[in-house]
Structure 1
Amino acid sequence: MPILEEVGEATQVRVGASAPLELMWILHNLQAKHVLNGPYASLERLRADMQPKVASFWADGVRGYTETIVLAERSGTTLDLDLDRYFEKLDEAIEMVDGGLSLLSERPSERVAFQTRVKRLREDRDLRGKYRSLLLSAWEPFRAEWEASGRRAAGDAAIEWARMVDEGTGYRTLLDRPHVWPGRPELEELAESALAEGRMVLSPGWFFGVIHVVEVDGTVYLGRGVRTEDQDAVRRETATRVAGNLKALADPTRLGILLWLAKHPASVTEIASHFELSQPTVSGHIQLLRDAGLLEDRLAGRRSKLIVARERLKGLIGDAEESMLRLFPHE
């Protein structure tokens, strides 16, 4: 990959806080299956109540609400610091999205899912009303926190980031990451292209997590959370998350199944036969691998075979490495 000099990024990178991106992150966090603590503790009570509803609203197997940013882009509200205009223009934005979505930051299957969501909203006004209600029920409990603390913190961070960009600081430094997204080199290329062509927007956020990358109509939005972190809480959260993510790989038999499937797509019956295990035992291993997002189904004739989600595996291992190394002293 060509290496671009960090000097000169000042004229190519926009910086701004974003209420719609805060909403996207709130919805993402409310879908979490684990307890939210540390910087996200204020979201935990609502997550405990709303998680099933937020996670099942679309029932398409794709996590997140990236289509909210598509709608923000269509309504010209992506960098607004409140959501008043966003909700005022929501119907108009939905009607405007009548073609394919670029969303180059998403995998092809996710892109199709987000496009289908917007199509359904355009065609079903009852669903649109429920969607608006869902977004409002996710945003309103945190509006006061955003207005009292978050908006100023994100805005101040945006001013500081803009100053650093003017002085030649690179976007990876501001994102506090040596790589945009471990295991997804296409996102590195997407970011570099956006940088070179002046299509990059950096956003510090109050409710944000580690990083987001969202491409809409050529603009690439990148951002990370900027709350002051309790380092003990960060270490606990990192340990819990990494251990949970790697649990699927912690059993030798389960890892053996995954490695075998890398070259031999197979059904549960075929796996059981090859490893001389009972089908219930294999099904248990497969369920854990599925829950970790490491397996996908592929049709072979009329039968479905299990295959390894290679990019997800690379991302899981890369995230574990990067999350832990961030807590080590810089060399």
Structure 2
Amino acid sequence: MDLVTGGTGLVGSHLLMELARAGRPVRAIHRAGSDLQRVRRLFAWYGPELAMAWDAIQWVEAELSDLPALEAALAGASRVYHCAGLISFDPSDRNQLLKTNFEGTRNVVNCCLGLGIKQLCHVSSIATIGGKLGSGKEEDPWDPQRTNVYATSKYLAEMEAWRGGQEGLEVAIVNPGVVLGPGSYDSGSGRLIAAAGNGLRYYPPGGTGFVGVGDVVRAMILLMDGGHFNNRYLLVGNNLSYREILGQIAGVLEVRAPEKPLKYWQMNFLRPLDWLASHISGRKRRLTGAQIRSFRNPKQFDNGKILKTLGGFQFTDIRDILEICGRHYRETANS
């Protein structure tokens, strides 16, 4: 049986679709209070086949920090897809990021080892890719001087996955870029689509790597089925500037594309105001020093390793991905 952590997230929910559609026995972990009905509606949005596949999934409530509940949830699984994680670049979330991403992964690894589960696919991030300015390859070393709280938590989580590999687990790590796909638009990469849909006037400098959620889950399943362990793989379909990606999203949603570049001096001026607003209102930080540094130093991510490993694998055209996202956003954003 396959087990998926983070089953209500963007990657986790789409992974469950593929596994259930293939007729594989699958169990999914979700947190208390998570919106299972939102995920069920997403299944149904894709069509009757997936609406029916929902009933084949065994849902189990468990927190990554609750070892007895986590161990009970993992019992009987033959392999684990660890998709659960917290995404935040707000320094005030440091402790929660470490608890969820680092300690949570440590608990998953320890449960796998204790229960005799042999295979683990761990979802990391391109945020952990270090190396020289502009470089973006799997072999690039971690650089603690150019990082943020989210990247640090994901790097430490990778170290736990590699430790599991040294203790007998067969481990595959994937490092997706910004994952785009139908889902929620008030968190994660969905905010990018919602922001463009609201008619942004300004676009930030720089850019990063982007990938469709369908490509991520396809690669994960193929890596596990093919026995491609003890390696990590960058999953990036397109390297795009923020102007390009926001412009393409705006085109799909038929709204005005942002036309004015956001200057570095403007971001540095806005940063303390953003800090003050977050402390007064309690909302998350939207602009940090680490984010501004990342805008200055964009990377070009190399997807050659995954293409070579999975012969014949191709990434979906970004325009096709955005068309699907745009259709789902228009049909569901206000529901």
Same fold (TM over 0.5): no
TM-score interval for Structure 1 and Structure 2 normalised by the shorter chain:
under 0.3
TM-score between both structures, scaled by the size of structure 2: 0.28
- Which of the two has greater helix per residue? 1
Q: Give the number of the structure with larger relative contact order, counting CA–CA contacts within 8 Å between residues 6 or more apart.
A: 1
TM-score between both structures, scaled by the size of structure 1: 0.28
